[in-house]
Amino acid sequence: MKVLGIETTCDETAAAVVTVDYDGRAGILSNEVFSQIADHAAYGGVVPEIAARAHVEVLDRIITRALAKAGVSLEAIDAVAAAAGPGLIGGVLVGLTTAKAIALVTGKPLIAVNHLEGHALTARMTNHVQFPYLLLLVSGGHTQLLAVKGVGDYLRLGTTLDDAVGEAFDKTAKLLGLGYPGGPAVEHEAESGDPQRFRLPRPMVGRPDSNFSLSGLKTAVRLEAQKIAPLSNRDVADLCAGFQAAIVDIVADRTRSALWAFQGFVGRPSAVVVAGGVAANQALRDALERVAREAGLPLVAPPVAYCGDNAAMIAWAGLERFRLGMTDDLGFVARPRWPLDERQAKKAENGQSGGK
């Protein structure tokens, strides 16, 4: 069984072909990613119009390359999966429309994949993790702690009340003149910095819930930078080290809280899983390793190549859904907002809980 996956929700244009063997293990036949970082770097962030235009220009070529590398034709695939949201609506429409066209021409089933579900199921593709497990999803636009009970079955235990972790990294990098993308730049500077020099806050640490709030930390970094401006290279490194140490402490504390909640709502998880672009941060992985070890659980972190946005995770999520008979018709509408746990999201919209 082979599925073609397409990912265009932000600033990566990607296509992949993924298969599965008889014991349920994945085989990644190809995973092509075209990054638009150079197109957006001058603006300090992703410009939606530029991103959508770039997807249109290169997607056909990326799909052709993915099929060629996998050694299969469009006729040989069993289904086509595309990230149908959440994300920048222009880019989402490019990928979903292309997938619909392929499905229509070849007569293959269409699977509209939630981009977040792609991240949520990546550990099953790379590490064959069994349900249920605790997922920390940390990316540029999302920070959530979820109980992953099955395909399409998620319980959100915690979310951010303001900025996502990835946003906080990017905005801190921009403040300190480190450019875009901010996460790798801050991590690099932090390696040579003193995390103890600045007394930065740890918002929400110690709270009984599992939510995050990072705007106060971001503001504290800005105020410290203003106090000592102009900044030397040492100042920048120390601020990055302090900021990253605070993020790590916050994430570790919130994950511990979510583990307690998970056992109350679901039972014992099989693992602690971290996914999303920020999951590539080594300091964060080390802290989560300690949290998981305290709970007697393994930490599963996908290889760095599958932490950021990629089409292999979309193809795999599509394959998981396809095996369960979950397909979509050609009238499926792209969704710029699409929570994994829609019940919790509706509660948040009604003012019963915060988050994004």
For residue 135, what is the domain's CATH number?
A: 3.30.420.40
What residues contact 136, with CB distance under 8 A and at least 6 apart?
144, 145, 251, 255, 258, 272, 273, 274, 275, 279, 288
Bond into 339 cis (ω within 30) = no
Whether residues 18 and 105 share a domain: the answer is yes
Q: Are residues 141 and 166 in the same domain?
A: yes
Of 251, 44, 259, which Cα lies nearest the Cα of 146? 259
Residue 351 within any structural domain of the chain: no
* pLDDT tens digit sequence for 234-261: 999 999 999 999 999 999 999 999 999 9
- pLDDT for residue 346: 60
- Going by C-alpha positions, the residue among 48, 73, 47, 61 that lies closest to residue 6 is 61
Is 176 a domain residue? yes
Residue 44 confidence (pLDDT): 76
Dump pLDDT digits (tens) for 28-74: 999 999 988 778 877 777 888 898 999 999 999 999 999 999 999 99
The phi, psi pair for 65, rounded to 5°, reads -65, -40
100 located within any domain:
yes
Residues 293 and 330 grouped into a single domain: no
Tell me, yes or no, whether 84 and 172 share the same domain. no
Residue 270 included in any domain? yes
Same domain, 148 and 294: yes
Note whether 54 and 115 are same-domain residues.
Answer: yes
Shared domain check, 322 and 284: no
Domain-located, residue 355? no
The set of residues, in sequence order, having a beta carbon less than 8 Å from that of 323 and lying 6+ positions away, is 1, 20
What gap in Å lies between CA 308 and CA 314, rounded to an integer? 12
User: Which residues span the domain enclosing 273?
Assistant: 131-303
What pLDDT score was predicted for residue 341? 86
Q: Tell me: do 299 and 310 sit in the same domain.
A: no
Same domain, 65 and 135: no
pLDDT at 172: 96
Q: With respect to residue 238, please indicate whether it lies within any of the assigned structural domains.
A: yes
What's the whole-model pTM score? 0.93
- As for how many domains the chain has, the answer is 2
The encoded tokens of residue 271 equal 């693992």
Given this model, what pLDDT does residue 352 score?
46
**Predicted pLDDT at 344:** 63
Residues in the chain predicted with pLDDT less than 70, given as ranges, are 344-356
Tell whether 336 and 286 lie within a shared domain. Answer: no
Residue 210 CA to residue 204 CA, distance in Å, equals 9
Does residue 198 form part of some domain? yes
SS3 261: helix
